[in-house]
Amino acid sequence: MADTVPDEVHVTGTLVWYYHVCPREAWLMSRQLTPDEEDDNIRIGRLIHEESYVRFAREVTTAAGKMDRLVRRDGQWVVYEVKKSSRHEVSARMQLLYYLLQLHEDGVEAVGELHFPEERRVVRVTLGPSEMCEIQNTVKEIQTLMSQPLPPPPKRIPVCRQCAYAEFCWA
Amino acid sequence: MVEKSLYIFSNGELKRKDNTLFFETTEGKKFIPITTVREIFLFGEVTFNSKVLDFLSQQQALVHYFNHYGYYSGTMYPRERIVSGDMILRQAEHYLDTSRRVAIAQRFVQGAAQNLRRVLKYYQGRGRDVENPLDKIESLIPSVSSYDDVNQLMAIEGNIREAYYQAFNSILSNAYFRFEGRTKRPPKSPLNALISFGNSMLYTTVLSEIYKTHLDPRIGYLHATNFRRFTLNLDVAEIFKPILVDRIIFSMIDKGMLKASHFVKASEGIFLNDAGRGAFVKQWDERLQQTIQVRELGRSVSYRRLIRMELYKLEKHLLEEKVYVPFAARW
Amino acid sequence: MFVIVMYDVHVKRVAKVLKTCRRYLYWVQNSVLEGEISKADFAALKRELAEIISPDHDSVLFYTFRTTRYTSRESIGIQKGGEDRFL
């Protein structure tokens, strides 16, 4: 039996986000078991993403994944993260903290901004000592989960109704 | 997601025009909204250039083409968009390890047998005398798990089908559709022509669904894999043949929707003509859009989506997360 | 969902609007298209059209139905277009 645990679980911002939405989804994602690409919600999310770019210029790709935007404003580095709705604000905040942590480890002190263009809302996120602790623990948890040979069993949560994996999980 | 099939029976030219599809015949022209097309079935003589092929690949639409007699000739299967190396490794692993391969092959045979039995039960409920074939199938089902060789499994599957075919003349009262044994390549009776054509519609439909998953259609478990052609779709089709193909054939004959004028005699065999294929395909398309309730999911899904979910169950079996239990029709 | 689109736009922009609609819907007759469409495609179609039309002179209407069909459609005269997947 091939050991199909990825050699080194490469945590990315997106994975941090999925982990908070649904750990099972994050595990499947880490194995490239991406859901049916044509799911409506995924596509609408992508549309909003593209739309925000008309205003927001280009995304920045780093080892930590794709940041929506990194800019220097008033002498301060700011990371933007654009989301469809604030329904998963907690997950989005963790994703942003992960980017801030990565930047911090690269010697760049930045602040984060969560953008919800549909709601015309911006949330500021900063990486203080307690947030640092919180995100570092999360990364450890994710690495533990990803090294498991099996995904966590499906749990029925509100997200299931909208999830592209639903048919996979409940088949 | 709107995904529809396009069926082309006329002769003509398929073009890419204004970033969408355009079909031109001597009779007229028609635009087809590309965003809704997931697969195209070509029954007529259709010409198209490489620009169209490239466009269809970009749109991830499959093209299934059939020859003049309605024989399936092949599929244009675009490069997969969603690939998981992990899944392909597992798929191969389960193929290479005989005991694992047999375990999956057994389930395909059992699942098919359960659904064959279900169809006969349904007709028994409607007063047809199908007792002998039914008893035979019921006595064969438990023995499937005792075979640990794929060739033997194929043989037992053949025996189960043989018993099932014995019931056809009790189910169908129309003399034109008498059944006198299964003949393929070429089919030698109208009923055989229908079964062959219906099965190829199912094979291609399952193939289109496999395209939307992480599975490789070239690795099958019951049908011998030779890595040159698609086999996994043949395996999964066994589960759905009785409830999709056979039920459509029976109900169409029952309702008098198929007549002698739908068939043509040619080169040793009997085939459906354009009108016959058109009539069948209309029913086929409707059937795939029909929905049934899936309790675990908490909502209804179409039969087409049910095929997809069957593939997801297989993926979970390969991940060793959940043992594969084939879909069993409940009516 | 099911959608009926009707447009009344300046002659300079008619061709572009029609081309865009044809990628998503079936042409029914002049300035009218209809068809089943996914939410995501509907969002994309509206966005594309918004970029083509002049908001001060043109108008595009979208009638949406939650089901995949309307209850009935009657017509007088010839049938010019509409969904047809059996060619």
pLDDT tens for B254-305 read 999 999 999 998 878 899 999 999 999 999 999 999 998 888 788 888 999 9
User: C40 vs A40: CB contact, 8 Å cut-off?
Assistant: yes
Per-residue pLDDT for A56 more than 80? no
Instruction: Tell me the range of A15-24, A41-50, B156-165 where mean pLDDT is highest.
Output: B156-165
| Shortest CA gap B139–chain A (Å) | 29
What are the φ and ψ backbone dihedral angles of B240, each rounded to 5 degrees?
Answer: -100, -15
In single-letter form, the type of residue at position C43 comes to A
Length of chain B: 331
User: C40 vs A51: CB contact, 8 Å cut-off?
Assistant: no
Question: How many angstroms separate the CA atoms of B34 and B17, rounded?
Answer: 10
Residues of B in contact with C25 (CB under 8 A): 33
Inter-residue contact B253 to B195 (CB < 8 Å) = no
What are the φ and ψ backbone dihedral angles of B9, each rounded to 5 degrees?
Answer: -105, -30
Per-residue pLDDT for A3 more than 50? no
Q: Predicted confidence band at A157 (pLDDT cuts at 50, 70, 90)? A: confident
What are the φ and ψ backbone dihedral angles of A123, each rounded to 5 degrees?
Answer: -120, 130
pTM of the model: 0.86
Note which residues in 128-147 of chain B have CB less than 8 A from chain A.
Answer: none
The residues with which A65 forms a beta bridge, in sequence order, are: A62
Inter-residue contact A146 to A31 (CB < 8 Å) = no
Q: What percent of chain A has pLDDT over 90?
A: 2
SS3 B63: strand
What are the φ and ψ backbone dihedral angles of B48, each rounded to 5 degrees?
Answer: -155, 155
State the virtual CA torsion across A38, A42, A47, A50 in degrees, nearest 10: -110
Which pLDDT belongs to residue B277? 94
Q: What is the mean pLDDT of chain B?
A: 91
Tokens 């033997």, located at residue: B152
> Which chains are adjacent to chain B, needing at least 3 Cβ pairs under 8 Å?
A, C
Interstrand relation of B4-8 and B37-42 (parallel, antiparallel or unpaired): parallel
* Option in A4, A34, A40 nearest B82 (CB): A34
Residues of A in contact with B1 (CB under 8 A): 36, 38-40
Closest CA to B241 of B285, B197, B286: B197
Question: How many angstroms separate the CA atoms of B211 and B205, rounded?
Answer: 10
* pLDDT tens, position by position, B115-153: 999 999 999 998 888 889 999 999 999 989 888 888 899
Preferred mutation among C24, C36, C41 to probe A, highest tally of A CBs within 10 A: C41
- Inter-chain contacts counted by CB atoms under 8 A, chains B and C: 57
| Shortest CA gap C86–chain A (Å) | 24
Q: Where are the beta strands (DSSP E) in chain A?
A: 60-62, 65-67, 69-73, 76-82, 110-116, 121-125
Q: Please name the residue of chain B whose CA is at the shortest distance from the CA of residue A33.
A: B84
Which pLDDT belongs to residue B228? 64
* pLDDT tens, position by position, B228-268: 689 999 999 999 999 999 999 999 999 999 999 999 988 78
* Option in B12, B18, B23 nearest C19 (CB): B18
The pLDDT profile of chain C, 87 residues, written as one tens digit per residue, is 899 999 999 999 999 999 999 999 999 999 999 999 988 899 899 989 999 999 899 999 999 988 767 777 888 888 888 888 889
Q: What percent of chain B has pLDDT over 90?
A: 65
* pLDDT tens, position by position, B10-48: 999 999 999 999 999 988 889 999 999 999 999 989 999
Per-residue pLDDT for B55 more than 50? yes
- Across the range A41-70, mean pLDDT stands at 61
Which pLDDT belongs to residue A1? 42
Closest CA to B193 of B272, B118, B134, B265: B272
SS3 A117: helix
Question: How many angstroms separate the CA atoms of B322 and A153, rounded?
Answer: 10
Sign of CA dihedral A105, A108, A110, A115: negative
Which pLDDT belongs to residue A65? 63
Q: Residue B5 CB: number of other CB atoms within 10 A?
A: 25
Structure tokens at A123: 């949330």
Interstrand relation of B12-17 and B46-47 (parallel, antiparallel or unpaired): parallel
Q: Please name the residue of chain A whose CA is at the shortest distance from the CA of residue C39.
A: A40
Which pLDDT belongs to residue B242? 95
Q: How many CA atoms lie within 13 A of B325 on its CB side?
A: 6
Q: Please name the residue of chain B whose CA is at the shortest distance from the CA of residue A43.
A: B1
- Across the range B176-182, mean pLDDT stands at 87
Question: How many angstroms separate the CA atoms of B201 and A168, rounded?
Answer: 25
Question: How many angstroms separate the CA atoms of C33 and C28, rounded?
Answer: 5
Is residue C41 annotated as involved in ligand binding?
A: no
- Across the range B45-57, mean pLDDT stands at 92
Question: How many angstroms separate the CA atoms of A141 and A147, rounded?
Answer: 10
* Option in B84, B90, B312 nearest A167 (CB): B312
Q: Residue B70 CB: number of other CB atoms within 10 A?
A: 21
Q: A74 to each of A57, A78, A121, A153, C11, how far by Cα in Å? A: 18, 10, 21, 47, 48
- Across the range A149-168, mean pLDDT stands at 86
Interstrand relation of B20-24 and B12-17 (parallel, antiparallel or unpaired): antiparallel
Interstrand relation of B263-266 and B269-272 (parallel, antiparallel or unpaired): antiparallel
Which pLDDT belongs to residue A2? 43
Preferred mutation among B84, B209, B216, B313 to probe A, highest tally of A CBs within 10 A: B84
Q: What is the DSSP letter of B181?
A: S
Question: How many angstroms separate the CA atoms of C7 and A130, rounded?
Answer: 56
Which pLDDT belongs to residue A39? 63
Closest CA to A23 of A134, A171, A152: A152
Q: Predicted confidence band at A42 (pLDDT cuts at 50, 70, 90)? A: low
Inter-residue contact A141 to A133 (CB < 8 Å) = no
Using the Cβ of A157 and the Cβ atoms of chain C, whether some distance falls under 8 Å is answered with no
User: B18 vs C87: CB contact, 8 Å cut-off?
Assistant: no
Q: How far is C-alpha B64 from the geometric centre of its chain's CA atoms?
A: 13
Which pLDDT belongs to residue A14? 82
Tokens 């049938």, located at residue: C79
- Across the range B202-225, mean pLDDT stands at 91
Q: Predicted confidence band at A61 (pLDDT cuts at 50, 70, 90)? A: low
Question: How many angstroms separate the CA atoms of B114 and B239, rounded?
Answer: 9
Tokens 């919800």, located at residue: A116
Residues of C in contact with A40 (CB under 8 A): 38-40
Structure tokens at B12: 């003509």
Question: How many angstroms separate the CA atoms of A150 and B31, rounded?
Answer: 47
Is residue B223 annotated as involved in ligand binding?
A: yes
Closest CA to B218 of B201, B197, B232, B236: B232
Question: How many angstroms separate the CA atoms of A21 and A13, rounded?
Answer: 13
Q: What is the DSSP letter of A127?
A: -
Structure tokens at A14: 């997106």
- Across the range B100-123, mean pLDDT stands at 94
* Option in B9, B18, B282 nearest C87 (CB): B9
Using the Cβ of A8 and the Cβ atoms of chain B, whether some distance falls under 8 Å is answered with no
Q: What percent of chain B has pLDDT over 70?
A: 98
Q: Please name the residue of chain C whose CA is at the shortest distance from the CA of residue B45.
A: C87
Q: How far is C-alpha B169 from the geometric centre of its chain's CA atoms?
A: 23
Cis status of the peptide bond prior to B186, with omega within 30 of 0: yes
Per-residue pLDDT for B96 more than 80? yes
SS (H, E, C) A28-68: HHHCCCCCCCCCHHHHHHHHHHHHHHHHHCCCEEECCEEEC
Which pLDDT belongs to residue A52? 54
Q: What is the DSSP letter of B19?
A: T
The residues with which A71 forms a beta bridge, in sequence order, are: A78
Q: Predicted confidence band at A47 (pLDDT cuts at 50, 70, 90)? A: low
Inter-residue contact B277 to B70 (CB < 8 Å) = yes
Which comes out higher in pLDDT, residue A51 or B90? Answer: B90
Question: How many angstroms separate the CA atoms of C7 and B320, rounded?
Answer: 54
Structure tokens at B52: 């169209």
Is residue B157 annotated as involved in ligand binding?
A: yes
